[in-house]
Chain A
Amino acid sequence: MLLYLPIAEIPVSVLIILSMGGAVGFISGMFGVGGGFLLTPLLIFTGIPPSVAVASVASQIVASSTSGALVHWRRKSVDMKLAITLLAAGSVGSAIGVSVFRYLRAIGQLDLVLALSYVTFLGFIGILMLVESLRAIQRKRDGKKSRTRKTGHHNWVHRLPFKVRYRRSKLYISVIPVLGLGATIGFLGTMLGIGGGFIMVPALIYLLRVPTSVVIGTSLVQIVGTMAIATLLYAVTVGTVDVVLAMALMVGGVFGAQIGARLGQSLQGEQLRLLLALIVLGVGLRFLVDLVVEPGELYSLAILERRGA
C-alpha cells in the first residue's frame, strides 16, 4: 500500500516505512540508543532525499526520546540544570548545523558531506564498540569482574575556569566543557539526523564524570530539546520536515522499541553489543562503498525553482 508524502512529494510503501521504523525502534529499545544514526541512513538508502530524511528523523527522535525522558524525569534521575545548560548550547549548535546543511544543499555537496561524516562517525563508533564488546566477552570468559569507574575522579577538564555547581550530579565543574559538549552534539546531531546520545553518554561519563544514575536521563532530556529546536529550524528554513513520514516512523518505532526492550532483557548484553557494533560498521561500510565505487549514473539533477505550482 502506498502513502503519498505531501512535503517530499513522492509516494512510499507504508510497509517499508513501518518496518524500518520498527526495526530501528527494536534496536533502540534493546540497546537504549536513539537509533537516528541507523534510521537516517536507511531512509537515504531507500531513495528518500537526504534533506527530507534528516529533517523528518529529527522529529522522530523527539518522539522516541520523549518517552524515555519522561520515565527518567518521573524517577528523578535527571540533572535538570545540567540538561538545560546542555540544551541551550545544543540549540546554538543546532542553528549552526542547519545553516551548514542549507549551504551544502545549495552547492550540491550535501550528499557527499553526509556520506563522509557517516563513514567517519559510524566507523569510529563501530570500531570502539567492537573492541569494547569483544573485551567484555573475553573478560566474561576469563571470569574477571568488570572494573568500576571512579566518579568524582578529576581530570584536565576539571581544571578549567567558570565553575558551576551541579547538585544533582554532585559536580563542581567548569561550564566551558558543558557548553562545548552541548554545542558539538547539537551541531552533529542536527546536521546528520542523529540524536547524539551515542556520543553524549560516554562523554558525560568519562569527560565530565557525571554519575551513571543520571547520565541517561539527562542525555535524553537534552536530546528532546535539541532535536525539537532542530525540527523547528528545518521546518522554517529548508521546509523539508515531512510530518506524514515522521508519524509513520514514530508509530513503527514505538512498537519496535517495546518489543526490543522486552527482548533485550532476556539476552546476553555483551553479545548484543557485538551485534550492534557489526550493524553500525555495516552501515558505515555501505556509505564508504557508495563513495568509492564508480556510480552507475554520474549525472544528477536538482530543481532550483519551479513555477506555476
Chain B
Amino acid sequence: MRAAEFPATVLIVLLALLCLSSAAFSEELVTALSTDQIEIASNFDGSEIVIFGSIERGSAAATRASYDLIITAAGPLETVVARRKERVLGVWINQSNRQFSDLPSYYAVMSSKPLDAITTDQIADRYRLGLNNLQTQGARTAHSPADDQRFIDGLFRLKMSENLYHYNSDGVHFLSPRLFRTTLDLPANVPVGDYTVTINLFADSSRLATSTHRFRISKIGFERATYDFAKNQSVLYGIATVFIAVFTGWLAGLIFRRD
C-alpha cells in the first residue's frame, strides 16, 4: 500500500466497522395492530383486532431453534366483588364475598405454544404474563387461603364464560419463520376504555424483545350521546325520558282512538 492511500483505507475500515456496530442487535420486533379504534354503534355485537408483525434478526442474533410469542391485551382496570350463594332457611342467598381491586376488566393472553412450554413460571411471573399472574393479592384474607382460592377460581370462571378473560395457547400463528399474526376477540359486552397490547418475543425460555401498542374502544354517535346525557345531566335525562313516555302514551291514544 502506498503512503497516500493509507488514511483512505483506515477511513473505509472505520466506516465499515461503524455500520456493522449499528446492526449489532440480536432481535427486534416490528409490529402493528389492524386498528387502534373500535367504535360501538347501535348494532355492535363484538369485534376483533388483528395483531401482526415480524422478527428482525440483527448481526448479534444467535442461532435459534424457534421463536415463540406471548401476546397480552389488557382493558381498563376495575374493582370487582365476587359473591357466593349459600343456602339459608331453604333459600339460596348471597353470603360471603371477596373484593378484588384494580383487576383488568378484559384480559387476553395469546401465545404460539402453551406458556409453560415457552418459558419458566418465574419469568412469566416477573413479566406478569398469563392469567395466573393477575394481581389477585388484595382479595386474599389471612385466615382462609383455600376459600380465597375458590373465589379467585369463581372470578376467573365467570370472566372466561363471558369471554372477557381469555387464554389461547395456540393463538399466535407463524406465516413464515419470522412473520406472525394473531386475532384478538372482543365480545359484545366488552368494556369501553383504553387497552394495552404487549407483544413479547421468547426463545430458549428468555424474553428477547417486547413491543407495546394501545387501542381504544368507545361508544359513538347516538349511543355515546345518550350515555353521556344520562351520566352528566341525569335530571334532564330523567325528565326527558318521562316526556317521551307521556308523549308516546298520548300519541298511541291519538292513533288508535275509536270515536
Partner of B223 from A6, A65, A307 at Cβ < 8 Å: A6
Q: Which residues of B contact A299 (CB under 8 A)?
A: 82-85, 151, 154-155, 157-158
Given the interface pairs A301-B81, A305-B79, the reply to whether A63 lies near B191 with Cβ below 8 Å is no
Complex Cα–Cα for A234 and B239 (A): 11
For B, the interface residue count at a CB cutoff of 8 angstroms equals 63
Q: Which residues of B contact A302 (CB under 8 A)?
A: 80-81, 83
Is B208's beta carbon under 8 Å from chain A?
Answer: no
User: Are B45 and A231 in contact (CB-based, < 8 A)?
Assistant: no
Is A258's beta carbon under 8 Å from chain B?
Answer: yes
Given the interface pairs A306-B78, A309-B191, the reply to whether A2 lies near B238 with Cβ below 8 Å is no
Q: Which residues of B contact A309 (CB under 8 A)?
A: 76, 191-193
User: Are B245 and A232 in contact (CB-based, < 8 A)?
Assistant: no
Q: Which residue in chain A gives the minimum CB-CB distance to B99?
A: A304
User: Are B230 and A241 in contact (CB-based, < 8 A)?
Assistant: yes
User: Are A70 and B249 in contact (CB-based, < 8 A)?
Assistant: yes
Is B241's beta carbon under 8 Å from chain A?
Answer: yes
Complex Cα–Cα for A239 and B85 (A): 27
Query: Within the complex, what minimum Cβ distance (angstroms) separates A262 from chain B?
Result: 9
Given the interface pairs A108-B94, A297-B158, A298-B85, the reply to whether A304 lies near B80 with Cβ below 8 Å is yes
Return 23 A-B CB contacts under 8 Å, by A number: A6-B226, A9-B189, A11-B188, A62-B245, A63-B249, A64-B249, A66-B248, A111-B94, A224-B249, A235-B230, A243-B226, A243-B241, A246-B244, A250-B249, A258-B252, A295-B92, A297-B157, A299-B154, A299-B158, A300-B82, A301-B155, A309-B191, A309-B192
The 8 closest A-B pairs by CB, nearest first: A66-B249, A235-B238, A299-B154, A308-B76, A62-B245, A232-B238, A67-B253, A63-B245
Residues of A within 8 A of B (CB): 1-4, 6-7, 9-11, 59-60, 62-67, 69-71, 108-109, 111-112, 116, 224, 228, 231-236, 239, 241, 243-244, 246-247, 250-251, 254, 257-258, 291-295, 297-309
